[in-house]
Amino acid sequence: MRRSGYFGQTAIAIATVVLGPGGVFAQTASPDFPVSVSVGLTTSIIADSNPSLLVLSPGASTTLAERLSFGITSETSAQVLRLSIDGGLVFDDTPASTSFGFRDPNFQLSYAREAANSALNLSADYRSSDVTDAVAEGVASGEGTLVATDVSAAFDFARNAPLSFSLAASFADRDYRDATDPDLADNMSTSISATADLRFSPVTSGAV
């Protein structure tokens, strides 16, 4: 009997370690400014004998990935600060090429402070990922890299007064790099708003 081709695929994922609050990497700096630190490490190995599921396999490929994450949280009764950073060191060995590099970095920073009569919220987010993984962005096909940046700020003051105010601003940027889909176009947006809230009585109010 003659065989016309060969199909084969093998995948292995191993080792996930997370050290967070309560672990050896968690600590509290002081009662007035408590700080918790978390460190995560995920290791995966994927060995694929036929990546494209072709009748005649061009050769096996191997991917070794180390996903690293680091986070800091400080929370008191008046304010919350959060910082998280993660990314992957990836080694790819395919029949066509061999590569090694840092991929899919993600950075998030947020700060919130609340007082008796005011509130402040700040946030920044930077992430880079393959466009095929960016389901939330409405991308379902094509190749390339999506670099997304989001920054926002909001400030409320005089909240307990008959006339209170809210200010908000946001910035969003989507940068598609080496994209094969022509419909994937870079875009940027900025928003600024101001609101005044006038309370005539405890049950009646108006906003501008």
Q: Give residue-wise pLDDT tens across range 38-95.
A: 999 888 888 887 666 666 767 788 889 898 999 999 999 899 999 999 999 999 888 8
Q: Give residue-wise pLDDT tens across range 144-160.
A: 888 999 999 999 998 88
Q: Give residue-wise pLDDT tens across range 19-33.
A: 444 333 444 455 666
Mean pLDDT score across all residues of the chain:
79
Is residue 111 over pLDDT 90? yes
Instruction: Tell me, rounded to whole angstroms, the distance of Cα 3 from its chain centroid.
Output: 47
